[in-house]
C-alpha cells in the first residue's frame, strides 16, 4: 500500500486508524451484514451511529446544555446564506469582520439577505493580520457578528474569540474546528464543513445556542431551516450517513488521544516547528503577522516563482503532495490538520532544508 504525505487543504488527510476501521467494517458493520452506506437511516444501527457521534462531539467540545448540534449539508457555503436567513429577526444588519477570502465569500452571500456592515477588514495588508478589536466599527443594531476563525487560504487564525457582548458571535470554523479546545459559550453559532479537519465532505456541523433557533420571520426552505434540523434531530430527511459515520470515528479517535487539549499540544508543536524552519531561513518566507498565524494552514514561498515551481515538483517526487498554494496566492501551502502526523511535518522540514541547501 502506498500512502503519501498529503498536505491538502481539503478534502484532507484522515487518521490512518480511522481509515483502517472503515476498511474493517465496510462489508459488515457490527454484524448487520451491510455497510453504513447501505443501511436505512431510520434503522436502529444508524440511530446508534448518529447518537454516538453526537454524544462524542458533545463531550469533545464540552457542549453546554443550551446548545444544539446540527448535522447539515451544503458545506460552509450553504451556511453563508443560512446564517443571515435564520438569525436575523427584526434587524436587517449584520457585522462581518473580514480577514481573508472566505470572509469575502461569506459577505457576498449575506448581502443577498441583509445589509452587511464590514466592521473591520485586513484587505489593506493582503489579509495578513487580524484587525484589533478596538478598531472594529460594529453596528449596535446588528443581529450578529461574523468572523472566520481560520482563513484557510491566507493562513490567518484568531487565537481567542473576540468578546462581542450581547451580540451573538458567529464563526466559520471550517478549517480549525476541533484543532484546539473551544469555549462554546463565547459563540452564538459555530459552523464547519467536515472535510478539512473532521471527516469526508458532505457533512456540515453547526453548533447553535438554542435561543437563536426559530426567530426568523422569513419563509425558509426546510433544508435551510435550523429549527427543522433541531426538532428532527438532524433527521428530517436522509442525512449524509457515511460522512456522519466517519466523523463519528474521528471523534472517538480524538477522545482516545486525550481530547482537544491533547490534540492542541500536537498542533502547536507541528506548526511551530514549521514556522521556525521558515523564519530561520532567508530562503523561505511567510508574510502573516506572527501572533495571527494559523496552526492549520501554513502558506510560504521561496525567493521567486520558478524556484517555487521546482520546489513543488521535487516535493512531489518525494511523496510530499498537495503543497501547491491556492491559485489566488501562489507559492506553497502546507495544511497540517489534526490527522497530519508529526513525522510527516518533520519529513517536510528535512526536505525544505535540503532544498534550500541546493538552491539557496
Ligand atoms: C473550505 C472552506 C469553506 C468552503 O467550504 P465548502 O464546504 O466548500 O462550502 C468555507 N470557509 C472556510 C474557512 C473554509 O476553509
For residue range 33-63, what is the model confidence (pLDDT) as tens digits? 999 999 999 999 999 999 999 999 999 999 9
Res 91: pLDDT: 72
Active-site residue 136, yes or no? no
Per-residue pLDDT tens digits for 219-244: 999 999 999 999 999 999 999 999 99
Element (H, E) at 250: helix 241-257
Using the predicted structure, report yes or no on whether residue 159 has a pLDDT greater than 90: yes
Res 1: pLDDT: 85
* Spacing, Cα 228 to ligand 1 middle (Å): 23
Contact 257, 59 (CB under 8 A): no
Mapped onto helix, strand or coil, the DSSP state of residue 115 is: strand
Active-site residue 186, yes or no? no
Q: Is 75 near ligand 1, meaning CB less than 6 Å away?
A: yes
Dihedral sign for Cα 156, 158, 164, 167, please.
positive
CATH topology of domain 16-257: 3.40.640
Ligand 1 atom at minimum distance from 195 CA: 7
Using the predicted structure, report yes or no on whether residue 89 has a pLDDT greater than 90: no
Q: Is 196 near ligand 1, meaning CB less than 6 Å away?
A: yes
Classify domain 258-359 by CATH architecture: Alpha-Beta Complex (3.90)
Res 272: pLDDT: 98
**How crowded is the C-beta side of 37, counted as CA atoms within 13 Å?**
5
Q: How much is the CA Rg of the chain, to the nearest whole Å?
A: 21
Using the predicted structure, report yes or no on whether residue 189 has a pLDDT greater than 80: yes
Domain ranges of the chain: 16-257, 258-359
* Spacing, Cα 173 to ligand 1 middle (Å): 9
User: Which residue is closest in CA terms to ligand 1's atom 4?
Assistant: 76
* Spacing, Cα 351 to ligand 1 middle (Å): 29
User: Which residue is closest in CA terms to ligand 1's atom 2?
Assistant: 174
Mutate-to-test residue for ligand 1 from 72, 152, 194, highest number of ligand atoms within 8 A of CB:
152
Amino acid at each position: 500500500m502506498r500512502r503519501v504525505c498529503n498536505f491538502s487543504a481539503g478534502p484532507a488527510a484522515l487518521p490512518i486508524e480511522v481509515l483502517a476501521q472503515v476498511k474493517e467494517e465496510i462489508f459488515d458493520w457490527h454484524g448487520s451484514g451491510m455497510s453504513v452506506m447501505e443501511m436505512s437511516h431510520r434503522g436502529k444501527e444508524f440511530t446508534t451511529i448518529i447518537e454516538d457521534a453526537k454524544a462524542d462531539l458533545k463531550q469533545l467540545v464540552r457542549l453546554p446544555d443550551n446548545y444544539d448540534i446540527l448535522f447539515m449539508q451544503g458545506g460552509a457555503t450553504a451556511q453563508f446564506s443560512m446564517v443571515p436567513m435564520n438569525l436575523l429577526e427584526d434587524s436587517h444588519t449584520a457585522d462581518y469582520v473580514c480577514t481573508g477570502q472566505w470572509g469575502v465569500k461569506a459577505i457576498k452571500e449575506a448581502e443577498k439577505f441583509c445589509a452587511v456592515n464590514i466592521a473591520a477588514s485586513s484587505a489593506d495588508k493582503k489579509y495578513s493580520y487580524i484587525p484589533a478589536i478596538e478598531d472594529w466599527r460594529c453596528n449596535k443594531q446588528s443581529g450578529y457578528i461574523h468572523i472566520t476563525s481560520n482563513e484557510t487560504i491566507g493562513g490567518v487564525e484568531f487565537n481567542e474569540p473576540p468578546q462581542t457582548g450581547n451580540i451573538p458571535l458567529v464563526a466559520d470554523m471550517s478549517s480549525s474546528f476541533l484543532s484546539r479546545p473551544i469555549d462554546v459559550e463565547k459563540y452564538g453559532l459555530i459552523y464547519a464543513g467536515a472535510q478539512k479537519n473532521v471527516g469526508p465532505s458532505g457533512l456540515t456541523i453547526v453548533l447553535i445556542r438554542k435561543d437563536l433557533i426559530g426567530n426568523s420571520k422569513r419563509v425558509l426552505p426546510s433544508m435551510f431551516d435550523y429549527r427543522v434540523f433541531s426538532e428532527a434531530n438532524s433527521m428530517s430527511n436522509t442525512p449524509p450517513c457515511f460522512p456522519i459515520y466517519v466523523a463519528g470515528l474521528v471523534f472517538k479517535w480524538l477522545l482516545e488521544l486525550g481530547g482537544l487539549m491533547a490534540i492542541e499540544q500536537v498542533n502547536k508543536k507541528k506548526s511551530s516547528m514549521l514556522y521556525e524552519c521558515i523564519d530561520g531561513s532567508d530562503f523561505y518566507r511567510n508574510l502573516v503577522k506572527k501572533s495571527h498565524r494559523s496552526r492549520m494552514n501554513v502558506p510560504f514561498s521561496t525567493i521567486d516563482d520558478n524556484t517555487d515551481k521546482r520546489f513543488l515538483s521535487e516535493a512531489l517526487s518525494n511523496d510530499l503532495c498537495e503543497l501547491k498554494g491556492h491559485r489566488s496566492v501562489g507559492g506553497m501551502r502546507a495544511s497540517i490538520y489534526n490527522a497530519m502526523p508529526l513525522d510527516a511535518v518533520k519529513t517536510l522540514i528535512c526536505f525544505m532544508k535540503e532544498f534550500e541547501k541546493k538552491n539557496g
